[in-house]
Structure 1
C-alpha cells in the first residue's frame, strides 16, 4: 500500500488537478518558449553588435559568456528553492526578470552602452536558469509530460534567433527593434501562466532508502554524463561552423534556427536513447569536419541539421530520465543539475577556439566525432552488461 502524496500548504498535488485542466495548464509552457527566445535572440545579433556598435571581439565574447555566469548559479539556487517554496512563484519571478533583461539590452542598443548590455545579458542568464529549473518541473507536473518544457525551450531557441537576425538585417534601429518580439512574448506567456496552479512544494515521502540511493546513482551514472552533449552539438552547429566559414548575419541566423528547430522536430517524433543521441551527434560532427575542411556552406547547413537532431534526442532523453528517477520533492533540484551539466557543453566552441592554435578545426571536429563514438560504445556495452 502506497502512502498518499504529501504536499506543502497552498499547493495542488498533481494527482488532484482536474482532468479537463490539461490544455489550460499546458499554456504555462509558453514561459519556456520565452526563455529559449531570450537566450538566442542575442546570439543571432553578435555580428550586428560588431558592425553597428563597433564592439571588439573580446567584448562580444564577454557579453556572451556573462550569460553563463548568471545562468549556472541561478540553476543551482532556483532548483532547491522551487522544491521548498513552490514552482509557480520562482518561475513567474524569473519570467519578470527575463523581460527586464530584454529592456536592458534594448537600452544598451539604443544608447550604445556596454554598461547596459552587461547587466542585460547577466539577467538573461539568471532568469533563464531559474526558468529552466523551476519551469521545467512546473510544466512537467502540470502537463504530465517531462519533454514538453524541452519542446517549448527548443522552439524558443529556433524562432528567437531567426526572428532577431531577420529584424537586424532589414528593420530600422536593429539593436532595439530585434528585441520587441520578446517583450510581447514575455507578456503573453506571463498572462497565460498566471492561470496555472501551484503543483510543487512537496514534502519528502518516507520510503525505501535503498531505492532512492539507486535512483541517484543511475542519475549520476547515466543521465549526467550525456548532458554536456545536449549543448555541445548545437553550439558546434551555430557557433563553430559559421565562425569557421565566416558566414554572414542571415546565414548565421538560419543556422541558429535550424539546429534547435531540427531538435524540436526530432524530440516530437523520434524515441530518445543515449546511444542514438551520441551516434547522431557523431554523424553531425563528422559532416561538420568535412564542411570546415572544404569551406562548404551547404554541407555546413546539413551538419547543423544533423547536430540539431542529436541535440533533440539528448535533451528529450535527459529530461525524461530525470523526471523518471527524481523523487517528487527533488524534481526541480535534479532538473537543475541536469541543465547545469548540459550548459557546460556550451563551452565547446571556446575550447575548440583555444585548441585551434594547436591544430585545425577539421581535426578538432574529427576528435569530437571520435569522442562521441567512444561514449556511444561505452553506453551500448554497459547496456548489454545490465
Structure 2
C-alpha cells in the first residue's frame, strides 16, 4: 500500500528517528572520556607514571583515526546500521579490555587502541546517519543546521556524563578501575537496541535507501506550499558573505575553511581533561578523582550550553562560529596558564569551562560546514575526515608532557596561544575574502 503524507497536525516526535541514532554518538563520547577521569586513579592505585597515563590517553587517537577513515567510507558503501552495530560491539570489547587492565596493565594499551577504532567508526557513520534522519523524508520539521547540532549535543552529553559517572564510581565503588567501566557496557547495549530500530538511510554502493514504511513521505508539490528556507539542512553561505553561494569545490572548501579549525576542537578539551587536573590538584588530597570528574562535566557541559550561541552566530556569517570558538580557546589557554602558575583549582575550572565553550563552538562550525559541503554519497567520508583532524588534538597533552621537561607547564600553555591565534587570523582572512 502506498504511504501517504502524515496529517498536518501529526506530532513531529513520531518521526524523530534521529533520537534512536543519537545514543550512538553518546556511547562514542562516553567511551572516550570514561578513561580520562581515571588518569589520577591509575597513577595512584597502579603506580603508572604521568607520562604513561598521558600516553595511554593519546594512544586512543592512533586507533580513532583509522576507525574514522575506514568507518566513514564503509558506511557509505555498506550502509549506516551494520557499521554502527559492529563499532558498538568493538567498543564494548575495548571496555572489557580496560576492565581487565586493572589486573594486567598491559591490556590497557590494546583497550585504548580499540576504543579509538570503535569510537571513530561510530562518529563517522553516526554523524552521517543523524544528518540523513534529520532531513526529509524522515524528518520534515527540522530547522537548518539541526543535524550538526544534534550530533554535537549527543557527543558532548557522552563526554560529560561518561567522565562524571566514571569518576564518582571510582571514588566510592569497590574495585573502582573495574566497576567504573560497567555503565558504558550498559549504554552500548541500549544504543545498539535503539540503532537496530532506526531506518537505514544508505544502501550498499552509496545510494540513498528508500524510506521505511513508517517514515513520512512528502505530499505532491501541488498539495503543499513550498517549505520555508530553514525547514531542512541548508547550504552554508559563501566564505565571503552571508548570502552568496560557495565558489569552490567541496574538497577545496573543506581544506580552506574546515581543516585548519578541526584540530582545535579537541585541543581545548584534551588540555582541560588530561593536563590541568594533575597540575593544580596538589592540595586536594583524597579528592583528585572527583575533581577530575568535575572537570569532565564542566568542559563538555559548557560545549552543550553554547549551542544556541553557535546557531545565532552561524546565521550572521559563515565563519562567525569558528572565530568565536578559536577566541574562546585562546582565552581558555591564557586562563589555564594562570591557573597552573598559581596552582589554583578554581581558576582551572574556569579555564576548563572556557575551553569547553571553544570546543562547542568549533565542533558546531565544523559539522555544519561538512553537512553543507559534502555531496550526499560522500557525506560519511567528509564527516570522517573532519573527525580525524579533530582528534589530532588529543595528542596535545602528551606533547605538553614532553615539553614540560625543559619548560614550565604555564609557559607551554602560553606558547599554545600562538598557533591558535594564527589559525584565527587565517580563517578570518579566508572567510571574509572572495575566492575567484
Task: State TM-score, norm by structure 2.
Answer: 0.78
**Equivalence map 1:16-55=2 (5 Å):** 22-55=15-48
Out of 163, 168, 180, the position equivalent to 1:161 is: 163
Match status 1:239 vs 2:241? no
CA–CA distance in 1 between the matches of 2:273 and 2:49? 20
Where do 5+ consecutive residues of structure 2 fail to align? 1-9, 136-146, 209-245, 283-287, 315-320
CA apart distance, 1:171: 1.0
CA apart distance, 1:87: 1.2
Higher helix share: 1
TM-superposition CA deviations, 1:30-66 (whole Å, max 9, x none): 0111111111111111221222233344543443233
Preserved contact between residue 151 and residue 268 of structure 1 (Cα < 8 Å) = no
CA–CA distance in 2 between the matches of 1:35 and 1:159? 12
CA apart distance, 1:147: 2.5
Preserved contact between residue 36 and residue 273 of structure 2 (Cα < 8 Å) = no
Bigger Cα Rg? 2
**Equivalence map 1:144-223=2 (5 Å):** 144=135, 145-201=147-203, 202-203=206-207, 214-223=249-258
TM-superposition CA deviations, 1:84-120 (whole Å, max 9, x none): 11111101110111122212222332xx112433332
CA apart distance, 1:380: 2.2
CA–CA distance in 1 between the matches of 2:24 and 2:379? 18
Q: Which moved more, 1:55-64 or 1:229-238?
A: 55-64
Name the counterpart of 1:15: none
Match status 1:321 vs 2:369? yes
CA apart distance, 1:375: 2.2
Indicate how the Cα distance of structure 1 residues 333 and 24 shifts in structure 2: closer, same or farther if over 3 A, else same: closer
CA apart distance, 1:229: 0.4
CA apart distance, 1:336: 0.6
Where do 5+ consecutive residues of structure 1 fail to align? 1-17, 205-210
Indicate how the Cα distance of structure 1 residues 52 and 292 shifts in structure 2: closer, same or farther if over 3 A, else same: closer
Name the counterpart of 2:302: 262
Q: Which moved more, 1:176-185 or 1:19-28?
A: 19-28
Indicate how the Cα distance of structure 1 residues 365 and 57 shifts in structure 2: closer, same or farther if over 3 A, else same: closer
Preserved contact between residue 212 and residue 327 of structure 1 (Cα < 8 Å) = no
CA–CA distance in 2 between the matches of 1:349 and 1:219? 26
